[in-house]
Amino acid sequence: MEQEQKIQYPCAWHYRIIGNSKEELYLTALELIDKEFIYSPAKESSKGKYHSINIEVVVSSQEERDAIFAKLHHDARIKFVL
């Protein structure tokens, strides 16, 4: 029986968000995330239709982590959140 690993908070948490433009994704993240984060561009699809960026943010709890995910997930400008 495997034990579930406990996450120690505060910790850095990574999200990858995918959408139509890296610039739009970055501006959307700035608008939705109420704290400082580290941004780095990631891959784009082979035909250039989709782009992704990585976001690293320090979260203080599971609730905060889930709230950020929910904000990103429910925004129409973001197609996917990983």
The confidence score (pLDDT) of residue 3 equals: 64
Contacts of residues 44-51 at CB distance under 8 Å and 24 or more positions apart, as own/partner, are 49/20, 50/18, 50/19, 50/20, 50/79, 51/18, 51/19, 51/20, 51/21, 51/22, 51/25
Domains parsed from the chain with CATH numbers: 15-81 (3.30.70.260)
pLDDT tens figures, 1-14? 566 778 999 999 99
Whole-model pTM over 0.75: yes
Sort strands 78-81 and 38-44 into parallel, antiparallel or unpaired. unpaired
